[in-house]
């Protein structure tokens, strides 16, 4: 089983709450608590935003997801990660510290997903940015 901690750690408190909400909506608080190895009170606190689940609890939630739930969770995770990448790229370009390796890595990720490569024109623009 692939460990998902590398991206789970980057999730916001709100994204973590939404993931728990996706699973609780179909399972209920008690059953979800049993699956996650936490108390029903803890799940209730997660849902109300009073506290947030740890990386390991979120990992367990993702592992327990049905295919339909996994699709919803995927949308939540993608939104957070893409927003973060966008913010980082914008900041690094503004500061003149954009590392061309970021562009290269994003192209590799897009290719891995079977998506078209990032534009070569954009690559040339980024190559002109000081690293």
CA distance 28 to 23: 8
> What's the average model confidence in pLDDT over 26-55?
97
CA distance 103 to 111: 12
Q: What pLDDT, on a 0 to 100 scale, did the predictor assign at position 131?
A: 43
> What's the average model confidence in pLDDT over 28-48?
98
Describe the crossing of helices 55-64 and 29-36 by its angle, rounded to 10 degrees. 110
Dump pLDDT digits (tens) for 60-93. 999 999 999 999 999 999 999 999 999 999 999 9
Q: What pLDDT, on a 0 to 100 scale, did the predictor assign at position 1?
A: 45
On the question of pLDDT at 24 being above 80, the answer is yes
Calculate what percentage of the chain has a pLDDT beyond 70. 84
Taking every pair of C-alpha atoms in the chain, what is the biggest distance, in angstroms? 56
Domains parsed from the chain with CATH numbers: 5-75 (1.10.260)
Pick the residue with more confidence: 122 or 73? 73
Q: What pLDDT, on a 0 to 100 scale, did the predictor assign at position 64?
A: 96
CA distance 52 to 74: 19
> What's the average model confidence in pLDDT over 14-36?
98
């Amino acid at each position: 089983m692939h460990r998902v901690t590398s991206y789970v750690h980057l999730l916001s408190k709100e994204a973590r709450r939404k993931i728990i909400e996706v699973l609780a909506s179909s399972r209920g608080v008690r059953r979800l608590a049993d699956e996650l190895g936490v108390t029903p009170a803890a799940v209730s606190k997660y849902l109300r935003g009073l506290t947030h689940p740890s990386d390991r609890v979120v990992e367990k939630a993702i592992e327990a997801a049905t295919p339909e739930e996994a699709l919803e969770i995927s949308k939540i995770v993608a939104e957070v990660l893409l927003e973060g990448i966008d913010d980082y790229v914008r900041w690094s370009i503004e500061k003149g510290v954009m590392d061309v390796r970021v562009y290269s890595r994003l192209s590799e990720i897009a290719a891995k997903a079977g998506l078209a490569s990032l534009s070569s024109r954009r690559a040339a623009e980024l190559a002109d940015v000081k690293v």
